Amino acid sequence: MSSHPYTRVVVLMVAMAFIAKPAFADLTAFLGSNRSPSNRTAVTGASLGISLLIVGFEFEYSNTREDQAANTPSLKTGMFNVVVQTPFSNLSGLQFYGTLGGGMYREQLDVREESSFGSNVGGGVKISLVGPLRLRFDYRLFSLRGNALHRRPQRLYAGLNLAF
């Protein structure tokens, strides 16, 4: 006696629906400081992430304004990152994470402009506030390829994070 060819597929899909872990997403808007080549509090950006308990992925965009008086370029980055984090906030409402990723950047100072590939490594903590609202503190160290004026910029930021 043979079963319908789609029966096994349907049974497998139903089983996976009951076994699968839910995915979690979050959105962060941030302000920060680019620490290289001088300390500039001119960083703005946002990130959108999705996580499957411990491992997740995020896309992050940031923009640091140019400061011609200090001879420091603007820096725009768009990075895709892998995120490894503690699975849940601990009793004090802290969730620690580390990131590693890469993407594109554009550095500009006056008429000089460089666009190329970059990578980053970093980490931080998300602190529970109320419901899905959290504070996020983050540090990133970038490595910029090509002819960047400053190949290893560092960024610190604080942001408001919404989990959903």
For 110-157, the pLDDT digits (tens) are 999 999 999 999 999 999 999 999 999 999 999 999 999 999 999 999
Residue 154 maps to a domain: yes
User: Please, which residues have CB within 8 angstroms of residue 103's CB and are 6 or more apart in sequence?
Assistant: 77, 78, 79, 80, 117, 118
- What is the CA angle 31-36-37, rounded to 5? 135
Q: pLDDT band for position 38 (50/70/90)?
A: confident
Residue 59 maps to a domain: yes
Spacing of C-alpha 109 from chain mean position:
25
Structure tokens at 89: 């906030």
Residue 13 Rama label (left phi>0; alpha psi -120 to 50; beta): alpha
Amino acid 5: pLDDT: 67
Amino acid 2: pLDDT: 55
Residue 17 maps to a domain: no
Distance, CA of 130 to CA of 64 (rounded, Å): 30
Number of domains in the chain: 1
Residue 11 maps to a domain: no
Q: 68-89 b/e with 16+ CB inside 10 Å = b?
A: eeeebbbbbbebebebebeeeb
Of 5-9, 27-31, 90-94, give the range with the top mean pLDDT: 27-31
**Is 0.85 topped by the overall pTM?**
no
Torsion angle of alpha carbons 120, 126, 131, 133, nearest 10°?
-50
- Provide the 3-class DSSP secondary structure of residue 66: coil
Residue 104 maps to a domain: yes
CATH code of the domain containing 65: 2.40.160.20
Q: pLDDT band for position 49 (50/70/90)?
A: very high
Domain coverage including residue 86: 23-163
Residue 145 maps to a domain: yes
Tell me the residue length of the chain: 164
User: How large is the average pLDDT for residues 61-81?
Assistant: 93
User: How large is the average pLDDT for residues 50-70?
Assistant: 93
Residue 7 maps to a domain: no
Q: pLDDT band for position 35 (50/70/90)?
A: confident
Residue 2 maps to a domain: no
Count of beta carbons in the 10 Å neighbourhood of residue 137: 16
